[in-house]
Structure 1
Amino acid sequence: MAYWYNVSSGQVESDDNKSQGEDLMGPYDTQAEAANALQTAHERTEKWDAEDKAWEEGRSED
C-alpha cells in the first residue's frame, strides 16, 4: 500500500482514502515517510541548491 501527504489538510492518506487533486505528495512506502514529506522536500531542495551553487561557481573559474 502507498501513502500520500495532503499539503492542504496536513494529513497522511492511504490509497484507500486518497484525495483527488494536486494537493498530494507521494507516493511513499510508509506512513512515517509520508508524514515527513515536507521536511524531506525541504532537505532535498537545500541539497540541490547547494549543488547548483557549487556547479555555477565551478563554471565561473574556467
Structure 2
Amino acid sequence: MTDGNEKYWYNLKTGEVEKGFVSPSIDRAGPFDTPEEAANAPEVIRERSRAWAEDDARNDDWGSSGGTGEDAE
C-alpha cells in the first residue's frame, strides 16, 4: 500500500492542492496520484454526489410503480 504522505490531496477549506498530510483530515479530499487529479477534486465530488443522489432516488422509487402491494385473488 502506498503511503498517503506521498499522495496529493485537495484542501477543501483553502482550495489548494497539497502533497502529503499537511492539513487535518477533515479538510482533505483524496488521496490522488497526481496534482492535476487533486485539482479536479471539486468536480469529482460534485459528479459522485449527483450519481449517488440519482441512485438514492431510484432506490426510493423501487417497487412504487403499479399495484397496491396486496396479492390479487
Shorter-chain TM-score tier: 0.7 to 0.9
Over 3 Å counting, the alpha-carbon distance change for 1:26 and 1:60 in structure 2 is same
RMSD (Å) for aligned C-alpha atoms: 1.7
Q: Which amino acid is 2:18 matched to?
A: E
Please give the alpha-carbon distance, in whole angstroms, between the structure 1 residues aligned to 2:25 and 2:56.
Answer: 31
CA shift at 1:36, angstroms?
A: 0.8
Name the % identity: 38
* Alignment equivalent of 1:4, drawn from 3, 9, 14: 9
2:40 is aligned with 1:36: yes
CA shift at 1:10, angstroms?
A: 0.8
CA shift at 1:21, angstroms?
A: 4.6
| Structure-2-length-normalised TM-score | 0.71
Question: Between Structure 1 and Structure 2, how many residues are aligned?
Answer: 61
Compare CA radii of gyration and give the structure with the larger one.
2
Identify, as 1 or 2, the structure richer in helix: 1
Q: Which amino acid is 2:22 matched to?
A: K
| Structure-1-length-normalised TM-score | 0.81
Structure 2: gaps (5+ residues): 1-5
